Amino acid sequence: MPYRAPVEEVRFICEHVVGLGQVTATPRFAEATPDVAAAILSEAGKLCDEVLAPLQRAGDLHPARLENGVVRTSPGFAEGQRALAEGGWVGLAASPDHGGMGLPQTLAAAVNDMMSGACLALQTNPLLTQGQIEALTHHASDAIKALYLPKLIAGAWSGTMNLTEPQAGSDVGALRTVARPNGDGTYAITGQKIYITWADADFMENVVHLVLARLPDAPPGSRGISLFLLPRNIPGADGAPGVANRLRVVSLEHKMGLHGSPTAVMQYDGATGWLVGEENKGLAAMFTMMNNARLAVGTQGIGVAEAAYQQALAYATERRQGATPVGDGSGAIVDHADVRRMLATMKAEIFAARAIALSCAVAIDMSTATGEADWAARAAFLTPIAKAFGTDIGVEVASEGIQVHGGMGYVEETGAAQFLRDVRVATIYEGTNGIQAMDLVGRKLADGGEAAWRLLEEIEQAAEAVRRVLPELAGEVWAAAESLREATEWMLSQDLEDRFAGAVPFLRAWARLLGGHLHLAAAMAAGGAGPRTALARIYIARRLPEHAALLAQARAGAADLYALSPDDLAA
């Protein structure tokens, strides 16, 4: 079955579950009326179905390649990128001051979700550009904004982020790339970066790199990192790409998946760059781009999960095997209890992850529109959960999709394995999911748990409000919230190593609770009966109970982990 963008599902969640209406009720986003939002989602769905989805297999079977220093892209990708640019999709949430639509981040997240399901390899290109737009909007000089933002927003130029170096990995403070002043306001950047997604493309007029580097007199560690903008081709006085900069793609990585999305080793040999933001404050500026990308990567996982689920469901409804308890007993495998369990679980998990991500986007929009600290704190708290849970579910649903196919899922021709190969990296980049969890129990609890307490209070009040309609479901959600309250109090009383040891299960327990809360909201929005209530019952009965075991792990501390030495682990 060809991929079909889940337009109606996204609309339902936006309108009835996560509260997009409160965003569009603000003066900042008043133009994003329900009719406008519906039109945006509908047109995005058509683009996904008709233009992007047909490119999915081409990117896998005909990977990007490096040819005479130029990255040659997969068949059809140039036309797909042109459609994205001409439709204004890159600048959906960007400021109208530089040509963007100025729409809510919630709509941008929903569109990224659908486009990721259609063709993740190509979608990574505009995703990174959107993050760069965000970083330049907040930190670049007016001159840089005037020159670069219109081109990036229009999709004529694309953007990358350059953080990782071979010796540093996730320890960005250990980077060695050097920036030396040229005396004319520019800098000469020398160094090497790895894992640079879409570092070049033969269909882009220009590629703009944001590069972390260290000035000669910079203090050590992360306190001495600055951010620089380096175009592939240096723009002339007229703004058109001119002479080639002193940078090059050394090689392309041979990856497990995402073959249509080139990931490069980049070399900078005295390349000309411009400072973005203040000296030695580059990491904060880059984190603006990374935070934008973290939610976007979460939606990538959700989009791939949706596509994997759609294919698994289509296969299960067509494949006939064995006696079943439905109809004449010789029906499709969808009627076997275990296959039905897998499919129902996949659907319930996708809903939970999608609703969490869109809840995070709503919080970002409300923070932007109102300037209220509580909304900003909620957005910050939900971001690592949305990223980690969205990408974990992408991997888990894609794996389960292979299982639904049985032996045919392990055969590449069916395409089921591609979803798992493509999405696996999403749990790693933009900060591994372990780093997301450490961020949650560290920085995101640094307010004494205030954002967590407000969220728990809201969840418990919502559960109380529906006890008369769905008492058994509401009771389970309320009880889980109380358990999370106790676990959060425990986290706040521990040192960081004990928190970090239990961070991953703690984050997953929060995702389980939020998923139950949002499923309950969907059930009530549908009248407390019907398919949405049945799906909520599956999630709350079969997935939410995991929170108890997760919280036991979260509170185990670090002592038992360090009781085993590296030699013990090797024995």
pTM of the model: 0.96
CB 137 within 8 A of CB 277: no
CB 514 within 8 A of CB 359: yes
What residue spans define the domains of the chain? Answer: 7-152, 157-281, 433-571
CATH number of 7-152: 2.40.50.140, 2.40.70.10, 1.10.540.10, 2.40.10.220? 1.10.540.10
- Considering the candidates 134, 430, 460, 476, report the single residue annotated as catalytic: 430
Cα distance between residue 180 and residue 187, in whole Å: 5
pLDDT at 1: 59
pLDDT at 292: 74
DSSP SS3 for 487? helix
Tell me the one-letter amino acid at 89.
Answer: W
Tell me, yes or no, if 430 is annotated catalytic.
Answer: yes
Specify the residue for token string 């929903």: 110
pLDDT at 328: 77
Q: Strand 263-276 vs strand 226-231: parallel, antiparallel, or unpaired?
A: antiparallel
List the structure tokens of 351: 């809903």
pLDDT band per the 50, 70, 90 thresholds, residue 302? very high
Segment 503-546, tens digit of pLDDT: 999 999 999 999 999 999 999 999 999 999 999 999 999 999 99
Q: Strands (DSSP E) along 87-240, which ranges?
A: 157-162, 178-181, 187-197, 206-213, 226-231, 233-235
pLDDT at 171: 67
Cα distance between residue 89 and residue 167, in whole Å: 37
pLDDT band per the 50, 70, 90 thresholds, residue 416? very high
pLDDT at 221: 82
pLDDT band per the 50, 70, 90 thresholds, residue 17? very high
In this structure, of 160-174, 388-402, 424-438, the range with the lowest mean pLDDT score is: 160-174
Architecture field, domain 157-281: Beta Barrel (2.40)
Cα distance between residue 318 and residue 313, in whole Å: 9
Segment 169-206, tens digit of pLDDT: 666 667 889 999 999 999 999 999 999 999 999 999 99
pLDDT at 287: 76
DSSP SS3 for 93? coil
Mean pLDDT over residues 489-495, rounded?
A: 97
pLDDT at 66: 96
Segment 231-288, tens digit of pLDDT: 999 999 888 999 999 999 999 999 999 999 999 999 999 999 999 999 998 888 877 7
The alpha-helical segments, DSSP class H, found in 406-502 are 416-423, 433-441, 450-465, 471-492, 496-501
Cα distance between residue 198 and residue 232, in whole Å: 12
% residues pLDDT > 90 (the chain) = 90
Q: How far lies 406's CA from each of 255, 339, 341, 409, 416, in Å? A: 25, 10, 15, 6, 10
Q: How far lies 525's CA from each of 42, 338, 535, in Å? A: 22, 29, 13
Neighbouring residues of 207: CB distance < 8 A, sequence distance ≥ 6:
157, 158, 159, 160, 198, 199, 200, 201, 231, 232
Average predicted confidence (pLDDT) for the chain: 95
For the cut 90, the answer to whether the pLDDT of residue 571 exceeds it is no
